[in-house]
Amino acid sequence: MKKIITFLVLAVMLMIPVLLVGQSENNIVVYAGSQSWIELEPLEIDRTRLRSAATIEDDFADDTVLVVLTRQASRDFRVLTPCDFPEFAFSSVEELTPGFELAETQMEERSMSRMRSHSGDMVIEYEPEWSVDLDEFRRILSLRLEEPSKENVLEAISLLEGRADVFSAEPDMFDTIPLMATPTSWPQIPLDQWNLHSIIMYGTLGTTRGSRDIVVGVLDTGIDAHHPDLAGRVNLGLSRCFTGQGFPITDDPRINTNPITGEVRLGHGTQVASVISANGIGMMGMADVTLASLRVIRSDGNGVVSAQINAINFATQRRMQILNMSVGGTNNDSARLQAIRNFPGLVIASAGNTGGNNDSNGHFPSNHRLPNLISVGASDEDNRRVVTQSWGSNFGRTTVDVFAPGIRIKSAIPRGGHDFVGGTSLAAPHVAGLAALMLSEYPALRASQIRDIMIENVRTNVQPCIANFSVARGIINANTTLHTVHTRHNGHRIATPIRTAAEFNGMLRDRPSGRFRLYANINLSGFAQWTPIPVFNGTLDGNGHTISGMNISRVGTNLASDINLGLFAILNGNVRDLWINSSRVYVGGNHSGNGWIRAGILAGTTGINSVIHNVGILSGNQVSIHRDNSVAGGLVGESRGYIRHSTVIGMRLYGNGDIGGIAGVVWGGMIYWSRFGGQAHIWYFRANNNRSIGGIVGHLSNGRVLANEAYNFTIYRANSNGSPNIGTVVGRRTGGTVATNNEFANVSHAYWGGLFNNQRRWNHNFRTMVGSGGNG
């Protein structure tokens, strides 16, 4: 009986593709070429398929077929080969899908969550900061023909369209860039960057000028990275060429021939890039952000759609938040649409320069109505749609989202010069730059949120040709847009995620004023000797994770000046919700020079504006400073800021100078609601030097030590001679306030050889709370 049931189940499963094919034949939609397409049924069930309308006269590559799989088939993440497509002779199958690895990981996490849910376990689901929309996700493939010809491409498409797992099959169409209008007869207006005034850019300068953490990918002809106005803006490591052209990429020796950033076709990519992020030497760009050159246009001004899809895929893998696409035409490509749909970030697309109505005459990719795409038309100085004798900005009440300046725009050109040019290609980067500023202010914004906020805050004092022919009914307004982001999110920026030790080491050093959040435990044991992060002014949110394996060792060095040792040398910023274990700071041997050493596990010194909140120094940590001119603390060496709700447990402290369980010396600020103890030990070697040792603070010069707890720890010293200042909470107070602190039993004072007068009976200035200077 079981065998019969199994056979019936398999038979039904084998019939499903046949049923899907039969249904798809009744729901055919024509697309591609210059025609648009319409979805006749909801895509949730993928019964609607798209059928190509390409003809032999269309301009497309003769060796490639682009395939988009159905949603159901896209959930199978196995590697596909020509054997999976026996309908035609294909030599290779290339995965072009943006977000392929992300989607696979997200599907695994979703499956595991559902399994845990069904088992009765509590499941906490969260939305990753960089993720694809699984409900819209589809795989995109490039199938290469063994025998190239346009006839074979069309025949292969016809055969593939009969498969149940193929949503669409289409040629790899050629696309182009709209040429900039050359301003040969245009005078240079007195205010040569009128465009920034038009969008009220100068009102934003006190808000933000951008962040290098934000990356804008420019899908274009390349960028002259050596142009003075773009110096330091283009990240060569994130730049790629997807055109397949060899060396050199241009016959003009005057133009930079770097295969990654090389510039062709009248400087189109360089002009676009300068509007986004020129550094102010010769002109001012929208934002101080990082640019990535994603070259998709060949030296003849054309490029296949698959190059754009490859660039979008690469941008997804490298987490580029914004893509500027000042490219396009009448080709309505399903594969490119799906690539943009899969992209987790924001795409800015120029609306076109034919002067037409995009509502009736499609321009792509700008016409795709997606929540992560903004279509941009061009405006002039009089707040009108640009219309000239040679070109005009496209418009559309439902297909052009916003307008931005697009005529007589000062921009950089290859070889170091400037020009005044026009086109929707120049309007789009204004929007890309504004989006980058929004993300600099609040990096957690989703692409759809950026689009909505920008549309909500346009300038509406415009001419009817803009007000009546765009979704937003206006021109972008940088001032009100950024003000809305700032007030809506209270100006709180979301931190850059850190998941590895290499990221931790690199990011905090490169961006010492940044905001960071740990998303994994960090083990620093791979660094044989940890070099403290010099000065950190930013914010580190440990997010409840642990840093371990830090090792700092200095033996017999010349201390010509003071040094600070710890995870951070000097901490002027904020650290919260972080745990540290199995780490050590060691200074031994004979040291020359008069410099002082300030050392703690977290930091050597903290500034007056620093805040340490909920930081725990746990098991296996040790600070050992064998030098008279020294200050040692379990958490920090010298504190001038605020330490609250922090804990030092099971610590081993060795030293010759001022020693404290939390801080060696406090010069200001406050330590409160913090704890030291848990089988902790303090060893003091120089008993005759009359230094200060305390469970919370060694020497309090100024500031407040309030509501802390010191318990279950032992203070050892080399011998019974001398008069060190020893206290359960503070060893010595020469200023400041000590109040409402608690000390518990099992606090011992011993020397090598036994306890001093037994527990909780002190001599040599060792008192219940404060060793020297009183209890107040």
269-303 confidence digits (pLDDT tens): 999 999 999 988 889 899 999 999 998 988 777 88
List the structure tokens of 341. Answer: 């749909």
CA–centroid distance for 158 within its chain: 42
**What is the number of other CB atoms lying within 10 angstroms of the CB of residue 616?**
18
pTM of the model: 0.61
Diameter over CA atoms, the chain:
102
Q: What share of the chain is helix, strand, coil (3-state, %, to 5)?
A: 20, 30, 45
The answer to whether residue 425 is catalytic is yes
d(CA 670, CA 640): 8
Angle 324-328-332 (CA atoms, 0-180°, nearest 5)?
Answer: 120
- To which H or E segment does residue 340 belong? helix 334-342
Q: From the CB of residue 36, how many other CB atoms can be counted at a distance below 10 Å? A: 16
Q: What pLDDT is stored for residue 29 in this prediction?
A: 42
The residues, any chain, with a CB within 8 Å of residue 341's CB and separated by 6 or more, are: 133, 136, 138, 370, 372
pLDDT at residue number 63: 95
- pLDDT computed for residue 720 by the predictor: 55
| Helix (H/G/I), strand (E/B), else coil: 6 | helix
Quote the CA–CA distance of 162 and 289 in Å, as a whole number: 47
For 457-574, where are the alpha helices, taking DSSP H only?
A: 464-467, 478-488, 501-510
749 Cβ neighbours under 8 A, 6+ residues apart:
714, 715, 726, 755, 756, 757, 762, 766
Cβ 263 vs Cβ 223: under 8 Å: yes
In this structure, are residues 200 and 478 in contact, taking their beta carbons and an 8 Å threshold?
yes
What pLDDT digit, counting tens, does each position of 427-442 carry? 999 999 999 999 988 8
Annotated catalytic residue 359:
no
Q: Whole-angstrom Cα distance, residue 513 to residue 430?
A: 27
How far is C-alpha 209 from the chain's CA centre?
A: 17
309 contacts 336 by C-beta, under 8 angstroms: yes
- H or E element at residue 417: strand 417-421
| Rounded Cα distance, 649 and 524, in Å | 20
Query: What is the structure's pLDDT at 141?
Result: 97
563-565 and 522-523 as β-strands: parallel, antiparallel, unpaired?
A: unpaired
Q: Which of 410, 431, 443, 500 is CA-nearest to residue 183?
A: 410
pLDDT at 102: 87
Distance (Å) of CA 144 to CA 67, 80, 86, 157, 617 = 11, 13, 13, 12, 58
d(CA 339, CA 138): 8
Q: Which residues of the chain have pLDDT under 50?
A: 1-45, 119-126, 181-190, 206, 246-265, 491, 752-767, 774-776
For residue 351, how many C-alpha atoms fall within 13 Å in the half-sphere facing its CB?
A: 36
Is-contact 406 348, C-beta < 8 A? no
Q: Report the pLDDT value the prediction gives residue 203, as an integer from 0 to 100.
A: 61
CA distance 496 to 404: 30
Q: How far apart are CA 274 and CA 287, in angstroms?
A: 10
Total count of residues recorded for the chain: 776
Contact 47, 41 (CB under 8 A): yes
Residue of 46, 172, 213, 220 marked catalytic: 220
First to last CA, the chain: 88
**CB within 8 Å of 292: residues ≥ 6 apart:** 215, 216, 217, 218, 234, 235, 238, 239, 240, 315, 318, 320
For position 534, what pLDDT does the model report? 96
Give the per-residue pLDDT at 205.
Answer: 52
What does the alpha-carbon distance between residue 547 and residue 124 come to, in Å, rounded to a whole number? 24
Dist. CA 270–CA 452, nearest whole Å: 29
Q: What is the C-alpha separation between 88 and 83, in angstroms, rounded?
A: 10
> What is the SS3 assignment for 768?
coil
Structure tokens at 91: 């030599």
Task: Report the 10 Å Cβ neighbour count for 734.
Answer: 11
Catalytic-labelled residue, pool 168, 211, 229, 268: 268
Q: How far apart are CA 580 and CA 617, in angstroms?
A: 5
pLDDT at 207: 59
| 426 CB-side CA count, 13 A | 31
- State how far the Cα of 322 lies from the Cα of 338, in Å rounded to an integer: 17
Rounded Cα gap, residues 417 and 738, in angstroms:
66
